[in-house]
Structure 1
Amino acid sequence: MNAYVSEQDVLIDVLRVFCGPDGGHGNALGVVREGSAVPGEAARQELARQLGFSETVFVDDPERGTVDIYTPGVRLPFAGHPLVGTAWLLDLDVLELPVGDVLARQDGEFTWITARSEWVPPRTLRQYASAAEVDALAVPEPGEWVYAWGWQDEAAGRVRARAFPGRGDGIEEDEATGAAALLLTQSLGRALNITQGAGSQLLTAPGPDGEIELGGRVSLNPAVPRHC
């Protein structure tokens, strides 16, 4: 589904990234295919604030995969769900970011990217004794980016997780967070099958030389067009 925002009629593709096995849930993402239509960091930050998604991506060069990522309040050098979504939408093999090139591939219903955990902005990984304890958590006060997790089935690598960005920008809980999944995978040193938020699914797999693959399903958001 596409949405037009502002009087400039900037076209936004709205996706859901890391959908569950039934195709539901996933984290909302806005993708501005024509990044040149919104020049300058201040204008992009304002549009991301208006949209209110966890992240909004501006594509500056679709052939090279050059992208620029914003939350409602800050610009990010790297984020997982925007890259998985943009790779799926534009059928890209490489995404170009300030931190380095991110490889992407399609495998059936899953879109995968290969990245490095050191590209991820700081997050606190906080383990709980059970998935039930994670489910029962209240949203903490702003101030610390917390990725709360517990084992659903440790032998099978199944994890229950919730993410609390703590930025005070209106995103109290992130439905699906690829960057934090990379950090957890690096910390545990094993492939993971993560259920996050209300029912999103993220898959990870460590690779050679510190690289980690991150994969999930992507779909078009069925929401109606909006004007901001």
Structure 2
Amino acid sequence: MTSFDVLRVFCGPGGGYGNELGVVRDGSVLPDPDDRQAFAAKLGFSETVFVDDPERGVIDIYTPTLRLPFAGHPCVGTAWLLDVPELVTPAGVVGARLDGEFSWIEARAEWAPPRTLRQYGSAAEVDALPVPAPGEWIYAWAWEDESAGRVRARAFPGRDDGIDEDEATGAAALLLTHELGRALNIIQGKGSQILTAPGPEGWIEVGGRVRQAGFSSPSGGTSWGHPQR
């Protein structure tokens, strides 16, 4: 059995919520991309990361159905787990830092997969949205307090792989920050929190809280932390 950590990334202020992430610390146990894809599908998380070099931070990211050159919550969570200053992804080198309770990455909007950013008139409208039929990837958002940069958001991947709604998506927050050109405090899903801040020369920081949710060992033993609330 392949061992893996389970993290919750972009947790709320009380440590609850967050998007679950699987991290295989020793990617050499599954070197073949097809085997990695099958394992990610078996785990069923919105993303699973395979670490190919823990010291240099070289990682490989998969959804249940495809490989990604970059993704936000996998980078934030893996940077926290490995405690490295950067991650190497196919899209580029992602800066990483820890600041108190928050794990931060620095990336570029053009690395993020395409998303449809759809603004609504109020947070209540976003809350009331039904899950759309599979199709385009939609990031539904509305201002909760525009002057303070507070945003209410929900994410609908539009895939037919059992992930109807993403609890927290750093790549979409990256794109929204790029479009609006300002720092944001985003509450997404049931209560996850994502912080962003634009920097010089097109770089954008994305940060949030990370918690260890579980670990599965090669012997078959599994240890789980507090469940998502």
Specify the TM-score bucket, using the shorter chain as the normaliser.
over 0.9
Partner of 1:82: 74
| Pair 1:92 & 2:79 matched | no
Stretches of 4+ aligned residues off by more than 3 angstroms:
none
Separation of aligned partners in 2, 1:51 and 1:88: 21
Separation of aligned partners in 2, 1:223 and 1:93: 24
Partner of 1:198: 190
1:171-186 equivalence runs, <5 A: 171-186=163-178
Partner of 2:141: 149
State the shift of 1:221 in Å: 0.9
State the shift of 1:222 in Å: 5.1
1:48-103 CA deviation, whole Å, 9 max, x = no partner?
00000010000001111100000000100000000000000010111001111000
Separation of aligned partners in 1, 2:85 and 2:11: 21
Partner of 1:121: 113
2:149 and 2:185 in contact (8 A); partners too: yes
Separation of aligned partners in 1, 2:136 and 2:104: 28
Correspondence for 1:10 among 2, 27, 49: 2
Note the aligned Cα RMSD (angstroms).
1.1
TM-score (norm 1): 0.94
1:197-217 CA deviation, whole Å, 9 max, x = no partner?
000000000000000000000
TM-score (norm 2): 0.94
Counterpart residue identity of residue 153, structure 2: A
Partner of 1:50: 42
Gaps of 5+ in 2: 217-221, 224-229
Partner of 1:131: 123
- Identical counterparts, % of pairs: 72
Counterpart residue identity of residue 164, structure 1: F
Correspondence for 2:179 among 166, 183, 187: 187
Separation of aligned partners in 1, 2:177 and 2:199: 11
Partner of 1:34: 26
Q: Sort the Cα spacing of 1:145 and 1:221 in 2 relative to 1 into closer, same or farther, 3 A.
A: same
Correspondence for 2:51 among 48, 54, 59: 59
User: What SS does the aligned partner of 1:221 have?
Assistant: strand
Partner of 1:6: none
State the shift of 1:39 in Å: 1.4
